[in-house]
A and B are shown apart, each in its own frame.
Chain A
């Protein structure tokens, strides 16, 4: 089996385990998030990440933004509803997103209290 196929298979198996765990435990969590937790626990216990798994996971992560396109197109369903309220919606989303990024980054950097990485990390998101 090609490494990519083996990797995808592992991801789907852990997603299924996550779905099963969520249903059995009655948790208010999506299955994939539980699957991520289970896979993470398995990787920490077992040691280095298998190459096949890394190939599949990194491939999906690189184009993670593609996967949100179908949900984003859903905006067309709500054009009329959003037309009445677009000012509060746009202002609230934009201001709150800026605030959340600033607060999270500032608190993280403050608590980490390390400026030593600062000078070397130039290409930054």
Chain B
């Protein structure tokens, strides 16, 4: 294997270019499938892209760290994207102010339901304590979930995987759940998606309607804020109760 093609491959595989290009190409493929399915929730581009990338990495024997050297540039944009959620929020501010009560109520009830139910179910079904600590903040956006999981004694990277999985699940099943509970209001639908499925649910909401997206972004930000402030006190609270 001394041919120049192999040398080129060795060179490319060692630069960030490969991971970055692979991420964008896989996402473009996922997006075109999603568009061809007329943005059907079941054709969400994230799991398609993840599956394509994992298959490509497995086929070439590339490890995650090498891949992430390139993919980190995409990952980094999460920061400015989260900051940018202030924009739709500022546009909807007059409505948000009028809806302060439903927002506060849905935030409290939804975040409690999300955390309590996943911990109870995982515990009853026999998950290990470390998995339970990593899964507890699953409805919170990945960067915040990682910090919370660490404080609870879980694994930050595993918490990120659970958060992304939850985001995908929420974006996929959201429409059906919302139809089943017969909530038609765009603000309520968007808020529920952002609360339960953070950024990926918010992306789904934006793809459907700007107003739903704005409320999803609001829920996603507020849930992150509340979770980051409340979760660290949960273990001592439980100890105090028992």
Contacts and interface: CB of A to CB of B under 8 A. Distances in A.
A125 B125 contact: no
Interface in B51-104: 53-54, 57-58, 64, 67-68, 71-72, 74-75, 77-91, 93, 99, 101-103
Given A69-B46, A72-B47, 18 more contacts: A35-B79, A37-B221, A57-B84, A62-B207, A64-B199, A65-B200, A66-B23, A69-B23, A69-B50, A70-B67, A72-B46, A73-B68, A74-B164, A78-B158, A85-B131, A96-B113, A108-B188, A125-B189
A112 B102 contact: yes
B75 A71 contact: yes
Given A67-B81, A97-B170, A108-B106, A75 B89 contact: no
A24 B160 CA distance: 26
A124 B193 CA distance: 11
A114 B185 contact: yes
A11 B85 CA distance: 10
Q: How large is the interface on B (under 10, 10 to 19, 20 to 34, 35 or more residues)?
A: 35 or more
Judged by DSSP, the binding face of A is: helix
Nearest to B50: A72
- Listed residue (A8, A121, A125) with the most chain B CB atoms within 10 angstroms of its CB: A125
Q: How large is the interface on A (under 10, 10 to 19, 20 to 34, 35 or more residues)?
A: 35 or more
A61 B228 CA distance: 22
B133 interface: no
